[in-house]
């Protein structure tokens, strides 16, 4: 098949459906109506002689042929976008763009309400999509533009990435308010003896920082439970004798009268919560606008 036989706009439709696995979301990403996108996808199916995507319970799943096309088409689209990029202004009041973030569950609780309130007032058609942080592929997703920003603690995002510090946070321990062994303070002996919860959230560095500090100070603790998310912590802590060490803003986001925050008996360094973006999108007007919104809302 010759490239002149294909409307290149259809390849943009293909790439958006591949990213979203959802016709409605892909249409919103491109600023099209759902019927218009479905019609474009039908044309591409006829041109290529393959269904490309099949509707399943999990969304629009690509065929093997579509899987083979996805990488080259995404790479080609990136090259064309770079070549044709101009300093066009982004108009948030008129845009219906969906911005995609990497963010932990606690980041959602701490940040999303403020972000959404701002957007409802200043950019009412702009949407937000939050993805869980995968074990692999973070760099690639941000390099291709699949993900616009990573907000939180991302120690591995260095080469080819820009970053901006939003605020500093410190660690606290939380425990059940009527804990039989803990009063208004926590001793190092109690810290070592009482069983802990470990939050091992993929892609972030909270647990690594804690483990490194404890190893340096030769402090040991007993891990009774390991979980991948923060939001389950209040329920477990208030019903057990377990304790957990987490960022202070995370602790303050738990409006639970049965939980108390305590100063750790060992010194943990403050952490810097940042927003990260790939160098390819450093000058992109839409990305710059969203970065400015995040900075305005959260930069100390």
pLDDT at residue 136 in the model: 80
Do both 176 and 160 map to the same domain?
A: no
User: Could you tell me the CATH number of the domain that includes residue 126?
Assistant: 3.40.190.10
Give the end of a domain, one of 84, 113, 134: 84
Q: How many domains does the chain have?
A: 3
Residue 74 falls within a domain, yes or no?
A: yes
Residue 200 falls within a domain, yes or no?
A: yes
Do both 103 and 154 map to the same domain?
A: yes
Token duo for residue 63: 């065929």
Give the end of a domain, one of 84, 109, 139: 84
User: Could you tell me the CATH number of the domain that includes residue 24?
Assistant: 1.10.10.10
Residue 90 falls within a domain, yes or no?
A: no
Do both 190 and 242 map to the same domain?
A: yes
Which residues span the domain enclosing 262? 171-269
pLDDT at residue 77 in the model: 79
Residue 214 falls within a domain, yes or no?
A: yes
In the predicted model, residues of the chain with pLDDT beneath 70 are 1-5, 82-88, 203
Residue 291 falls within a domain, yes or no?
A: yes
Residue 92 falls within a domain, yes or no?
A: no
Residue 193 near residue 241 (C-beta atoms within 8 A): no
**Helix, strand, or coil here: 166?**
strand
Do both 11 and 62 map to the same domain?
A: yes
pLDDT at residue 206 in the model: 78
pLDDT at residue 58 in the model: 83
Token duo for residue 277: 């973006």
What is the model's pTM?
0.70
Torsions phi, psi for 103 (to 5 deg): -160, 145
Do both 107 and 133 map to the same domain?
A: yes
In angstroms, the CA 182 to CA 189 distance is 11
Residue 29 falls within a domain, yes or no?
A: yes
Do both 125 and 187 map to the same domain?
A: no
pLDDT at residue 284 in the model: 92
């Amino acid at each position: 098949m010759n490239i002149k036989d294909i409307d290149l706009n259809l390849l943009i439709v293909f790439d958006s459906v591949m990213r979203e696995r959802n016709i409605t979301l892909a249409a919103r990403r491109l600023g099209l109506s759902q019927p218009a996108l479905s019609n474009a996808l039908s044309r591409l199916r006829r041109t290529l002689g393959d269904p490309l995507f099949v509707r399943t319970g999990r969304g629009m799943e690509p065929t093997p042929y579509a899987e083979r096309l996805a990488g080259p088409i995404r790479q080609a689209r990136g090259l064309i976008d770079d070549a044709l990029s101009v300093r066009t202004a982004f108009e948030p009041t008129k845009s219906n763009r969906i911005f995609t973030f990497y963010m932990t569950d606690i980041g959602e609780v701490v940040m999303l309400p403020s972000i959404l309130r701002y957007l409802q007032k200043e950019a009412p058609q702009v949407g937000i999509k939050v993805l869980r942080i995968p074990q692999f592929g973070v760099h690639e997703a941000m390099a291709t533009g699949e993900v616009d920003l990573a907000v939180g603690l991302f120690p591995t995002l260095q080469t080819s990435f820009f970053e901006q510090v939003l605020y500093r946070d410190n660690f606290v321990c939380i425990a059940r308010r009527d804990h039989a062994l803990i009063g208004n303070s926590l001793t190092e002996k109690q810290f070592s003896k009482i069983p802990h919860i470990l939050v091992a959230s993929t892609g972030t560095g909270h647990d690594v920082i804690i483990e490194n500090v404890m190893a340096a100070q030769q402090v040991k603790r007993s891990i009774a439970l390991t979980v991948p998310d923060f939001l389950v912590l209040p329920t477990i802590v208030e019903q057990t004798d377990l304790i957990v060490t987490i960022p202070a803003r995370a602790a303050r986001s738990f409006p639970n009268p049965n939980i108390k925050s305590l100063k750790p008996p060992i010194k943990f360094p403050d952490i810097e919560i940042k927003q990260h973006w790939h160098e390819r999108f450093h000058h992109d007007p839409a990305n710059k606008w969203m970065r400015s919104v995040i900075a305005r809302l959260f930069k100390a």
